[in-house]
Structure 1
Amino acid sequence: MTVITDSDITAASYDELVERVLGGGFGPDPGTQRIAVAFTTRQAVRHAGRSGGYRNEVLSLRLAQAVGSCAVEPGGLPDSAVDDCVGADIARLLEHELLPVRVAALDAYLMHVLPHSPAAGARPCQLPAGSSLEKSRARAEAVVDLLDATPGRTVLVVGVVNSLLEALRARGLAYLPCDLKGGTTEWGEPVRTDALSELERCDAVLASGMTLGNGSFESLRVHALRHAKPLVMFAQTGSAVLPRLIGAGVTAVCAEPYPFFWLDGGPGTIHRYGGSERSGAAL
């Protein structure tokens, strides 16, 4: 019987993870693994009772039974990207000129060879059926439960989701909301656009996996590692990538592979790794 150890399935940085995949360190030669289907998912959201809304766009790649994803700014992905991916092997896509393509390809490969399971360190968490807002709030509770921060501490939130801010407020935590889109939160608070400039002001970081696709993740990871700050990732982007970086600056991950909670009103499953969650019970 083969025993999987943490050192077998973790890496010290994103670049090292890519190098190990390219070298066959996680499984089959990525040059032999081809993407069968590539697609984008676009949505616009305005939850009932909320004053504002937002849009999402996600590139997803299908490798065998696995789907890897990377969110992008709406309109930021050229149509040619999908055509580039179909039929291409993972090794080639890991060297693609577009970072979101590289991230989605890595996510697809790791989802294929290390699907979310207890053997890979995952703890499944059931999300109940419900409206888009109900499911958003349930996911937010699952994410914030992983955060090791006491009331009065300040959390840098990178990728503003109002349900996450609501959950932090309920726990007596202060927060610095950051998002490239800017704007204001549901409570009229200004949203900062430069997360890296706010790092010195926070006690912990709660960040979207979308930081993988826009290139800001490694700066967050290195800061958290150097300053021993909790870094919790909520990941639709890179849900299979980020768990492999726990212990290298990442403290915990709430991984949500495709299809995402906002695509369906029925029950669903997310997967939690690491952290100091308050409860392992289903929400």
Structure 2
Amino acid sequence: MTSASATAATAAPAPAATSYDDLHARVLAGELGPDPRTRRVSVAFTTRQAVRHEGRATGYRNEVLSLRLAEAVGSCAVEPGSLPDGALDDCVGADIARLLAHELRPVRVAALDAYLMHVRPHTPAAGARPVPLPAGGSLEKSRSRAAAVAGLLGAAAPGRTTVLVVGVVNSLLAAVRERGFGCVPCDLKGGTTEWGEPVRTDALAELERCDAVLASGMTLGNGTFEPLRAHALRHGKPLVMFAQTGSAILPRLIGAGVGAVCAEPYPFFWLDGGPGTIHLYGADTAGAAL
């Protein structure tokens, strides 16, 4: 092999990841960038939110663990109040390899997200299409994001009729229905939607009667993502992800069951009334603009 061809072989991109576990293993092995043992988290923090949009009958709470690696922030949502007090202390100053082996799944997910945000941020060169979110109130911004996500779903699942929505966000349900889809809302918290519909709690039990899946990145943190991905891949069903959790992780799984991703890294739309940006991957992102 000539030196030129050797250089070309060295520069060839690594094959696409085949699963979350495969991606995790490749990062841990240093195949996608710098050795994770040499990259340390400088800041660890949680963001807690309670919200009830004007005109809505119900509200909800969020809590997110975030880790800062150099200029990048990786995040994983957790059930409010479930993160142990010592988790932040475990993360600060620790190297990414150590955190990828942490006993808590949300720490592992946030560490993987931070590393991938560091080595491959959301740019057009990485396949991302930036879409601006206009300034406005929390409900206006939620609806703007929902319109973009529903656009991805419409492009990824043309002609599909029933969508399993995993991770209930009322703005998303409304936007998906406006596109002509039927919805089966599902969330581990259960309850009812804004329109009084029962929320299913077992997503896997609903898969067979749905034609496509729209799922939150929170499924990474609670361990339900891989069964959804495997089902979508096995049955050829469109799987679209909307991701604050794992925004840098899920684009790496497009083609391995994931069809499209709306990636929203920290800071999230609900933290600021000013303009923001989301990043669309896969499907026909041109049809998903606001």
TM above 0.5, yes or no, is yes
**Structure 1 273/83 Cα, relative in aligned 2: closer, same or farther at 3 Å?**
same
**Aligned match for 2:196, one of 183, 188, 192:** 188
Q: CA RMSD in A?
A: 1.8
Residues 151, 288 of structure 2: 8 Å contact kept: no
In 2: Cα distance, 1:168 partner to 1:68 partner: 28
Identity among equivalent pairs (%): 77
Deviation for aligned residue 1:39: 0.2
Aligned to 2:253: 245
Report deviation, 1:35: 0.3
SS in structure 1 opposite 2:14? helix
CA distance 1:230–1:31, shift in 2 (3 Å): same
> For 1:104 and 1:261, how far apart are their aligned partners in 2?
19
Whether the aligned pair in 2 keeps the contact of 1:151 and 1:171 (CA below 8 Å) is no
Which one is further off, 80-89 or 272-281? 272-281
- Residue 242 (structure 2) pairs with residue 234 (structure 1): yes
How many Å apart are 1:172 and its aligned residue? 1.6
Unaligned 5+ residue runs, structure 2?
A: 1-6
Matches within 5 A, 1:6-25: 8=14, 10-25=16-31
Alignment CA distance shift 1:176-1:4 (3 Å): farther
Question: Would you say the 8 A contact 1:137–1:164 is kept in 2?
Answer: yes
1:100 aligned onto 2:106: yes
TM-score under structure 1 normalisation?
0.96
**Runs ≥4 residues deviating over 4 A:** 1-7
Matched residues in 1 for 2:9 and 2:66: separation? Answer: 31
Q: What is the CA–CA distance in structure 2 between the aligned matches of 1:225 and 1:7, rounded to whole Å?
A: 23
TM-score by length of 2: 0.94
Matches within 5 A, 1:126-141: 126-141=132-147
Q: CA deviation at 1:279?
A: 2.5
1:168 deviation in Å? 1.3
Structure 1, residues 115-160: CA drift from partner, whole Å, max 9, x if none? 0001111000000001100000000011111113346700000000
1:125 counterpart SS class: strand
| Structure with greater helix percent | 2
Return the alpha-carbon distance in structure 2 between the equivalents of residues 250 and 152 of structure 1.
16
Separation of aligned partners in 2, 1:249 and 1:23: 23
Q: Unaligned stretches of 5+ in structure 1?
A: none
Deviation at 1:3, TM superposition (A): 11
- Structure 1 equivalent of residue 4 of structure 2: none
**Bigger mean CA offset, 271-280 vs 50-59:** 271-280
Q: Which amino acid in 2 is paired with 1:271?
A: H
The range that moved more, 144-153 or 238-247, is 144-153
Distance 1:256 1:10 in 2: 21
Q: Given that residues 160 and 211 in structure 2 are in contact (C-alpha distance below 8 angstroms), is that contact kept between their aligned partners in structure 1?
A: no
In structure 1, how many angstroms separate the alpha carbons of the residues matched to 2:128 and 2:285? 13
1:94 maps to a residue whose letter is L
Encode CA deviations 1:197-231: one digit per residue, 9 max, x unaligned: 10101000000000000000000000000000000
